[in-house]
Amino acid sequence: MIKDKYEKYIFPSLAEARRRIQKETEHIRYQLPDHLRGIGKDRKYFIKTYGCQGNLADSEKMAGLLEAMDFRPAEEEGAADVIILNTCAVRENAENRIFGELGRIKHLKTENPDLLIVLCGCMPQEEVVVARVLEKYPHVDIVFGTHNLYRLGEYIYDAYFSKEKVVRVYSMEGKIVEGVPVRRAHAQKAWVNIMYGCDEFCSYCIVPYTRGKERSRDYRDIIAEVRDLAEKGYQEVTLLGQNVNAYGKDFPDASYTFADLLSDLRQIAIPRIRFVTAHPRDLDLRTIEVMATRGNIMPHIHLPVQSGSDRILKKMNRKYTRETYLELISQLRSHIPDIAITTDIIVGFPGETEEDFAQTLDLVRKADFEGAFTFIYSPRSGTPASKYVDDLPAVVKKQRLQELNKLVNEGYLKGNKRFEGKTVKVLVDGPSDKGAGMLAGYSEHDKLVNFPGDKSLIGKIIYVKIEKAYTWHLRGIIA
């Protein structure tokens, strides 16, 4: 057993990570230990982030921790003294890319023997990954997972002073740690975690194993964070959770829900509030009603459906039917008539027949999505679906994806067309890739808008008259 060979390290176990213990989550406040201060003086860090918004938010915390230790950001990896790969385990090809990356940066270690290479995030939560890293990538100095990010400083300290490899991957979720320093990547938009982990166990998904059980932050901490962001001039917050609609379900009395949180945050003078990801099983009428009161809650929802076939939804363990999903869409539209709805869809799930796929296409037409992330099913070792017989030829899966994308793209265009001739509010992100003198930003409905304008507008919310809609963006002029 490889674990026995490396017994001095803390190894993960996916089997253990599946267990759910009904103990209350401990909440603690982070304080940077004194011995870590100054370690980063004259040293630089470089973080490469893969995967979802949760990882982007984690990387901002790691950057905050490093800067509290006096590290400074490096412009490029070759100039860094610490390189961190914050990884994603959702798809196998993403994992392969990250292994490729680990091989590619090996030479930097020869050029700078003091360089620390860190692998963290979701991938190390899989024991096969840690074993492969130890056997094939000896130049990796630090490996840790998703539950102990706040201890990054200690691991760097240990690696520098003990000159030994540090491998600390815990299978069970840890505490909720408040007060970890954050270096936000964007000056106007902020991620705000409201909860961690996932208890849904969709049969194809590795996240409940890599991120642990659902743990909600105390709503007073979330409100304080959003208030602080508003005072600092942030224009937009995006509330993050694998299933934000399950927020508060793990509280001992479960009396404060996501709808309550949205309603409380709505009172704060921050111009825009968004959230990802919603789950059709837990999205309730109260949440829709709070969204319908508008104010600073943006008229967009990303509501992953994954399949339009009840048979496949059951195999996916999604715990809703196409009928209940479509009912939710109709409730959303009756309460918020102009809402933009986007989704995620997997094609080629094991056992998906032509009829199942036809049901998906039919649901896409009925739901009138204005966008979708579409994927071919990718088996993840350790999940129930990875044991299902998957005999659909790759070429058929590709054809289905193409057919689906054609329909989805029509939805993108139709969703954009409805804004032609209208004036929309745009939060200006920065220069556009559409040419010199062009700016880009997002409308309230989360549409990408390009328009000519001066850079002094970056960070502001302005009115733009839409002249032309394209599939992937809108083009307009300042109103």
* Least separation in angstroms between CB 202 and ligand SF4: 3
Binding status of residue 202 toward ligand SF4 by CB under 6 A: yes
Binding status of residue 200 toward ligand SF4 by CB under 6 A: yes
Tokens 């969204």: give the residue.
291
**Closest Cα partner for 387 from 376, 395, 379?**
379
Tokens 């299978």: give the residue.
171
Using the rule CB under 6 A, which residue among 208, 308, 371, 459 binds ligand SF4? 208
CB nearer ligand SF4, residue 61 or residue 279: 279
Q: How far is CA 211 from CA 12, 20, 31, 146, 297, in A?
A: 12, 12, 23, 6, 27
Span near ligand SF4 by CB under 6 A; candidates 34-42, 197-205, 321-329, 427-435: 197-205
Q: How far is 473 from 460, CA to CA, in rounded Å? A: 19
* Least separation in angstroms between CB 60 and ligand SF4: 20
* Residue 268 DSSP class: S
CB nearer ligand SF4, residue 69 or residue 202: 202
Span near ligand SF4 by CB under 6 A; candidates 63-71, 196-204, 386-394, 420-428: 196-204
**Sheet bearing 300-302, strands edge to edge:** 300-302, 340-347, 372-376
Q: How far is 3 from 179, CA to CA, in rounded Å? A: 34
CB nearer ligand SF4, residue 317 or residue 399: 317
* Least separation in angstroms between CB 317 and ligand SF4: 8
Sign of the CA dihedral running 328, 404, 203, 206 = negative
CB nearer ligand SF4, residue 157 or residue 201: 201
CB nearer ligand SF4, residue 166 or residue 207: 207
CB nearer ligand SF4, residue 83 or residue 205: 205
Binding status of residue 213 toward ligand SF4 by CB under 6 A: no
The first and second tokens of residue 361, run together, are 């296409």
Q: How far is 315 from 326, CA to CA, in rounded Å? A: 19
* Least separation in angstroms between CB 382 and ligand SF4: 13
* Least separation in angstroms between CB 253 and ligand SF4: 24
Q: How far is 261 from 290, CA to CA, in rounded Å? A: 10
Q: Contact at 8 Å (CB) between 172 and 211? A: no
Strand extents, DSSP E, 403-473: 423-431, 438-443, 448-452, 461-469
Using the rule CB under 6 A, which residue among 17, 120, 207, 222 binds ligand SF4? 207
CB nearer ligand SF4, residue 301 or residue 474: 301
Strands 142-144 and 116-121: parallel
The first and second tokens of residue 199, run together, are 């208890």
| Segment 251 to 310, residues that bind ligand SF4, using CB under 6 A | 279
Q: Contact at 8 Å (CB) between 353 and 361? A: no
* Least separation in angstroms between CB 383 and ligand SF4: 9
Enumerate residues 6+ apart whose C-beta is below 8 A from 299. 291, 336, 338, 339, 340, 444, 445
Binding status of residue 243 toward ligand SF4 by CB under 6 A: yes
Q: Contact at 8 Å (CB) between 292 and 262? A: no
* Least separation in angstroms between CB 228 and ligand SF4: 28
CB nearer ligand SF4, residue 211 or residue 217: 211
Binding status of residue 148 toward ligand SF4 by CB under 6 A: no
SS (H, E, C) 18-66: CCCCCCCCCEEECCCCHHHCCCCCCCEEEEEECCCHHHHHHHHHHHHHH
Using the rule CB under 6 A, which residue among 117, 149, 205, 329 binds ligand SF4? 205
The first and second tokens of residue 406, run together, are 């054609």
- Site residue total, ligand SF4 (CB under 6 A): 10
* Least separation in angstroms between CB 308 and ligand SF4: 16
Tokens 């069970």: give the residue.
172
CB nearer ligand SF4, residue 186 or residue 281: 281
Strand extents, DSSP E, 349-407: 372-376
CB nearer ligand SF4, residue 199 or residue 264: 199
Using the rule CB under 6 A, which residue among 55, 171, 235, 242 binds ligand SF4? 242
CB nearer ligand SF4, residue 85 or residue 240: 240
Binding site for ligand SF4 (CB under 6 A): 198, 200-202, 205, 207-208, 242-243, 279
